[in-house]
Amino acid sequence: MRHTTTRLTIATAGLALMLGAGLGAPAGASGVQMASLEAAPQAERTQDATVYSFDVYREGSPIGTHTVRVERLPDGRRQARVTIDLKVKLGFIPLYTYRHEAVEIVGPDGRLLSLDAQTNDNGEKLSVTARREGGKVVIDGPQGRKTVDGDVVPTTYWRNAFVEADTLLDTQNGRVLSVTAQPVREDTVGTGEMRRRAMEWKLSGDLDLDIWYTPSGDWAKLAFSIDGDRFEYRPTELPR
């Protein structure tokens, strides 16, 4: 039991770094019972809103949900609301919980205007804000204030500008991440009637993951590994 709990603690410590990038799922050992999922909101696209919904899996077992609702504002700006909910249990004992909420606003040109993010990482509360000031973005977070280039893209994942940027803003800790993205292959994601063709991208550098976008730029899938465990975002439904 002590070995299992220790391994889980080490793995979740590494996971917290990934969750700061909007990823989600605590790693565990055999015998760790995962919490059941609540019904995830369906993906939908109207004239004004798009919803991306994913169930999060660790080694094939569900551990939580990640949802992004994007609304187009009257002045052409877009507002994205991010919600991540995760929980791991050992039997009936909660070992790890995680909740992340963020509101991102981008301009008609796709550049970041503002970000407000709140995280409860297993009891540790974190806050990050970002505001555009001219051609720069000013970030306030646990590591203090910093000013970065205005082309920085938050790790909210919903827009494919994520794989075009070489500098990312960690929405949990306010870190600035340097990354390189390379296309891997065209793939099929989703199941049944929701199967879609999507391009897989491999990110390396300060963030290592695989992410998929459809030809129309919709986020379709996410996968990464921590401490030898494989984590995968499976779409509950894809935007049409």
Q: If you average pLDDT over each of 20-29, 41-50, 96-105, which comes out highest? A: 96-105
Angstrom distance (rounded) from CA 106 to CA 77: 6
User: How many C-beta atoms lie closer than 10 Å to residue 72's C-beta?
Assistant: 15
Angstrom distance (rounded) from CA 157 to CA 172: 14
Query: What pTM value is reported for the model?
Result: 0.81
pLDDT above 60 for 1: no
Instruction: Average the pLDDT over each of 80-89, 112-121, 189-198 and give the range with the smallest value.
Output: 189-198
Instruction: Average the pLDDT over each of 59-63, 136-140, 156-160 and give the range with the smallest value.
Output: 59-63
pLDDT tier at 19 (50, 70, 90 boundaries)? low
Mean pLDDT score, 26-38: 33
pLDDT above 60 for 98: yes
User: How many C-beta atoms lie closer than 10 Å to residue 200's C-beta?
Assistant: 18
